[in-house]
Structure 1
């Protein structure tokens, strides 16, 4: 506020700015009714900012017969407001203005904002320098039988800078006053005065007893009392009829007006009330920020998608496939012959050949387990929204649900566009195959040599063909076994590579379609939480952590 907010009011300016940003960021996530009060406070703050701080508006509010108008006239020093036994006496709010000085702006803007008609505007006749800049309002009865009067009271109580609550010895404990007004205005105690009027009707020793009981009732309603130098509402006993205590009341009102901080204090109390009522919408389960998308949550989601695309099973299948190829490339020729015979027998029995089945699997479109995808998304939404207030938790769950609608089909498309790469053929497989061929040749040579010796043909050394036959027969399986041992490491690496490839495909698609929208919602919540913490802090600076992953 150009004139209304200075000094400590800089914190209020920061809080109002944070509240304005908070409302803007929340409109698409919260119901308009939830933000209605905050919008009203912002509108009132903007309207008050355009008006001079040299005037302070103070309303006198009370029930029928409490002597509001009489007290109003006593403070004004003239019969400006009608007072009498007819009820309700005050039908329209009456304003009395004490000039703030020659060089100050006129109070017309404030009176127009309050909606005080010209016929109900008065000027103080007596010059009271202690009340310069005061605009005193005599409100209709808050318990009037006329609903228009009650509506007028409610409207003006939301606009004035300070309130003088007038009670009388008979109805000072009235439930309507305490429950509907004093409890609701408990946060505005710093700009409130509670006046026990008509003490002339009480015996001298009863005044203190009534005041003590009034203080007790106020304390039970959460109204802070300004005693012993503490901020809060002042409690006075006066008699507007005899003038007892009026001078003390005039002094306290004068101090309130002279400080020229009532408007800012009233707005700060309004912001406090809005923040308190909006608290459950922005802060849930204490002051600690929810965890959000932690590393563990992201990892669990990626694991779920990996299961949906069968990454682990595909990796194991790739590892077994590598080992089979190694067996075929490095195995003994006899083992390969037996394998072909077994395949031929299976084909004769009507079973599809292994190669044909493999080709059929390769040409079939990849299948993604949709149930696993849905479970992964549900778990992610539940983990990411844990600890969030319900409106924001709902927004996170909705973002996850929308992102997951086409996720299974997108995963299948990615798998089709990015099939597994060609499997390399290590050079040592060729060397092993050559070794098997040499060992097979040794077997044949040794066998032929032994047959020649058996039929009586002369041969050189009978141990040599036997050594060739045994060496070839034993060396072939030994070489195949050694190659199988050597192939385990590369086979495991190939299986891990294939599993990692599928995991990355699934994770990248899940990140773009689900994690990014969820993270955006959490980022929006982090922003509104930060704005809320600033708006709720009397100093205009955050007091609680608001970091969300």
Structure 2
């Protein structure tokens, strides 16, 4: 049930029926004032014609139930009013006629820690400030409205984000997931906090806007808070700090979850004095009065910093003396420059400035805000709202109420705050995602790496050895038999030392390993060039891990390359040259036998023919051998190049599998996170970051 408090302080039902009015007066216990007699004030038994005894027993039973309930619940959820974000509205269980009794009301107030000027379950004794007002403050009495039993309270709709904001949050979540193994927890902490808070805020009411009133000591923020609420809720005075804990004031029901999220207990939740106009303009507003952000008490500053991260909007209250305070601008306004659309900057106490001084101070304040990077919402542009007013005299309060009412009615502050938080998180993450230049491995760098590995494995030397081996085989196959016999005899007469084949010297092996390590470092540096430090380090580590067994693998390739094949391929002219060499040898043999036959008289004397045959054989054999050697150069060169190519490809494949592929995987991961970062910043997936 909603009641309206008139100018005399009487509470009336919407139906116009009189009811009990319970007020909190300074220094007094809650008292009841009766205006006439209404059916709702009579016990149920009286309406049924009973003598009232059963009603009295029912009241005693209900009082016992209420007091027991009060002892069982704590300050955070002491009553339905606390759950609805207002400790001043007590909705006790029981019939209306019982809840209207003095004792029941006293139990309800005690449950909120307001009876007899004491508080329950807390060491802070500022409780309900309204009870400390002087008697002349009757116009600011806080009405404690008691609703009927079983009244259904409509749950507010949860907050809904639009498509672009959801896409940005999904991209930020994907970004954090892809980066957990590459970046430290401190770097991703702010992004994780933004995601958690965005998820939590989405589950809560989208019909309410939580606005914090923040300011320095003596700026008058609590007075402004009271002026907006229409009742003295937050204590004001010369004692510093005055506000020791945040106080919540909700203009409508259903904000309990939002206030619980801020950690404000039920005893510090209030409801304003509402009239028809104020209720319609500020419906959905949840106003939070914060401690001084420059308080000498560390706990106060910690509370301010914590709640400022959770509210939907902020009203910064400055005064003519501290509006240029370096702490305010450097610690709060400048870091929150991206949140200009959810910020109000109010120059309070303008009644202290004579003549046009207020305009000059307001212009200087705008200049300072512009220097902080805060966009000002002037001429219809999105940005912070800057106003000048006096909470004491009421000057400019109407303009603030109108601007705040329009701001709350739009119901877009929560989404804009989350969007600004995402922007701030993206700015913090920019150094670890934005590349300074074109990244990746060029084809030239890959070829250079393969060439370095080929040199380390001796691909060129292996090709030359294969070429020489092919030439030797050709010479042996196409050479004269007498030359081959001489070479065989020479090899047989060569003294044997009995030594085993000498392996490669140790210094040569060390040089080859150093070449491999140098090649890996070079390609890793080129791949990491221009990358942010964490990703550059990840690329180098991937290259080093892959290169741990690379020298051994290259050695195996070199051993296999050093082993010649069983039979090198032969060109088509090879058999013809072998046949021609055999023919030359045959001519020599026939000429010699012919001459011997003539010597022994077996054949008639004729020196011309055998000498001719011998000359053809002797001259033709070396000529064929020389011709074959000339003809074998090109095939031998091709054979050597092919052997070198195979070894180079094998070395390049080994290096690619062990070094380049892991490096490429890291670069691909960075490409993915960079695309997600582009989505987070709103630049789109195809945008280039950096």
What TM-score results when the alignment is normalised by the length of structure 2?
A: 0.71
Q: Tell me, yes or no, if structure 1 residue 321 matches structure 2 residue 469.
A: yes
Q: Tell me, yes or no, if structure 1 residue 278 matches structure 2 residue 429.
A: yes
Q: Tell me, yes or no, if structure 1 residue 487 matches structure 2 residue 638.
A: no
In the TM superposition, what are the counterparts of 1:378-527 in structure 2 within 5 Å? 378-413=521-556, 420-424=564-568, 426=570, 428-446=573-591, 463-527=608-672
Q: Give the corresponding residue for 1:36.
A: 189
Structure 2 stretches lacking a partner, 5+ long: 1-155
Of Structure 1 and Structure 2, the greater helix share is in: 1
Aligned residues: 526
Q: Distance in 2 between matches of 1:183 and 1:425?
A: 78
Report SS of the residue matched to 2:314.
Answer: strand
The correspondence for 1:221, drawn from 359, 365, 372, is: 372
Greater CA radius of gyration, 1 or 2? 2
Give the direction of change, closer, same or farther, for the CA distance of 1:332–1:178 in structure 2 (3 Å limit): same
Deviations, residues 373-397 of structure 1 (Å, cap 9, x unaligned): 2122112211221111111111111
Q: Distance in 2 between matches of 1:106 and 1:420?
A: 87
Question: Cα distance, 1:495 vs. partner?
Answer: 1.5
Contact 1:69 1:138 in 2 (8 A): yes
Contact 1:197 1:238 in 2 (8 A): yes
Q: Tell me, yes or no, if structure 1 residue 161 matches structure 2 residue 312.
A: yes
Report SS of the residue matched to 2:346.
Answer: strand
Q: Give the corresponding residue for 2:198.
A: 45
Question: Cα distance, 1:361 vs. partner?
Answer: 7.8
Q: Give the corresponding residue for 2:100.
A: none
Q: Give the corresponding residue for 2:104.
A: none
Q: Distance in 1 between matches of 2:219 and 2:650?
A: 77
Question: Cα distance, 1:546 vs. partner?
Answer: 7.1
Q: Give the corresponding residue for 1:116.
A: 264
In the TM superposition, what are the counterparts of 1:223-238 in structure 2 within 5 Å? 223-238=374-389
Report SS of the residue matched to 2:356.
Answer: helix
Give the direction of change, closer, same or farther, for the CA distance of 1:420–1:195 in structure 2 (3 Å limit): farther
Report SS of the residue matched to 1:136.
Answer: strand
Report SS of the residue matched to 2:332.
Answer: helix
In the TM superposition, what are the counterparts of 1:126-137 in structure 2 within 5 Å? 126-127=274-275, 128=278, 129-137=280-288
The correspondence for 2:180, drawn from 6, 10, 27, is: 27
Deviates more, 1:60-69 or 1:526-535: 526-535
Higher relative contact order (CA 8 A, sep 6+): 1
Q: Give the corresponding residue for 2:480.
A: 332
Q: Tell me, yes or no, if structure 1 residue 84 matches structure 2 residue 84.
A: no
Deviates more, 1:296-305 or 1:176-185: 296-305
Q: Distance in 2 between matches of 1:177 and 1:429?
A: 94
Contact 1:436 1:479 in 2 (8 A): yes
Contact 1:224 1:233 in 2 (8 A): yes
Give the direction of change, closer, same or farther, for the CA distance of 1:416–1:444 in structure 2 (3 Å limit): closer
Report SS of the residue matched to 1:204.
Answer: coil
Contact 2:312 2:342 in 1 (8 A): yes
Contact 2:458 2:558 in 1 (8 A): no
- Please report the RMSD computed on the Cα atoms of aligned residues, expressed in angstroms: 2.8
In the TM superposition, what are the counterparts of 1:168-207 in structure 2 within 5 Å? 168-207=319-358
Structure 1 stretches lacking a partner, 5+ long: 100-104
Q: Distance in 2 between matches of 1:138 and 1:169?
A: 20
Question: Cα distance, 1:442 vs. partner?
Answer: 2.0
Q: Distance in 2 between matches of 1:417 and 1:108?
A: 77
Give the direction of change, closer, same or farther, for the CA distance of 1:269–1:543 in structure 2 (3 Å limit): farther
Q: Distance in 1 between matches of 2:653 and 2:516?
A: 14
Contact 1:420 1:498 in 2 (8 A): no
Q: Distance in 2 between matches of 1:325 and 1:374?
A: 38
Q: Distance in 1 between matches of 2:626 and 2:451?
A: 36
Report SS of the residue matched to 1:86.
Answer: coil
Question: Cα distance, 1:410 vs. partner?
Answer: 3.0
Report SS of the residue matched to 2:529.
Answer: coil
Q: Distance in 2 between matches of 1:378 and 1:64?
A: 59
Question: Cα distance, 1:310 vs. partner?
Answer: 1.4
The correspondence for 1:252, drawn from 403, 414, 420, is: 403
Contact 1:5 1:13 in 2 (8 A): no
Contact 2:219 2:348 in 1 (8 A): yes
Q: Give the corresponding residue for 2:170.
A: 17
Question: Cα distance, 1:461 vs. partner?
Answer: 6.3
Contact 1:327 1:480 in 2 (8 A): yes
Deviates more, 1:223-232 or 1:190-199: 223-232
Give the direction of change, closer, same or farther, for the CA distance of 1:81–1:392 in structure 2 (3 Å limit): same
Q: Give the corresponding residue for 1:297.
A: 445
Give the direction of change, closer, same or farther, for the CA distance of 1:182–1:424 in structure 2 (3 Å limit): same
Q: Distance in 2 between matches of 1:112 and 1:316?
A: 81
In the TM superposition, what are the counterparts of 1:54-69 in structure 2 within 5 Å? 54-69=207-222
Deviations, residues 274-326 of structure 1 (Å, cap 9, x unaligned): 1011101011215xx51x23333332222222222212211110011101110
Contact 1:304 1:372 in 2 (8 A): yes
